[in-house]
Amino acid sequence: MIAVAIIILVGSCGASLTSDNSTPEESAPIVLTGDEIIVTMGEYESQLYAPEDISVNAGDTVVWDNKSGLHNVVFGKVPEGVDAEAISRKTLAREPGPAHSVKFEVPGEYRYHCSPHLELGMVGTVTVQ
């Protein structure tokens, strides 16, 4: 039974690998200036964002830094007028390092998750003041 669950989990991760919603901005390396707020993905091989919930000011940039594993950042709930798909990174980060960044301009609550690890509780919230 455990082997079947592992095959299903690996199969579902592989299905996400074929979905490519990358934009030219995603393929460019992210250069950190020291002014960004960093959220780690998969630190210590966990299936979590750390910190899970953050508060930032309008105009701040958040960078998701992949520590281990295959992770993405998919926004679900966003403030009215914000394009959730445009600020999401649906392709999986495969390599360690800065994987995605968003400059938050519109105040409100932004909820996001990692597609392959949603059922494991890999979710996060950015509250913009």
Q: Which residues are catalytic?
A: 71, 114, 117, 122
Contacting residues for 116 by C-beta, under 8 A, at least 6 apart? 9, 12, 13, 16, 70, 71, 72, 92
Helix (H) or strand (E) holding 9: helix 2-17
Q: How far apart are the first and last CA of the chain?
A: 47
Nearest 5°: CA angle at 121, between 119 and 122? 105
Q: In this structure, is the dihedral angle defined by the CA atoms of residues 29, 32, 35 and 36, taken in order, positive or negative?
A: positive
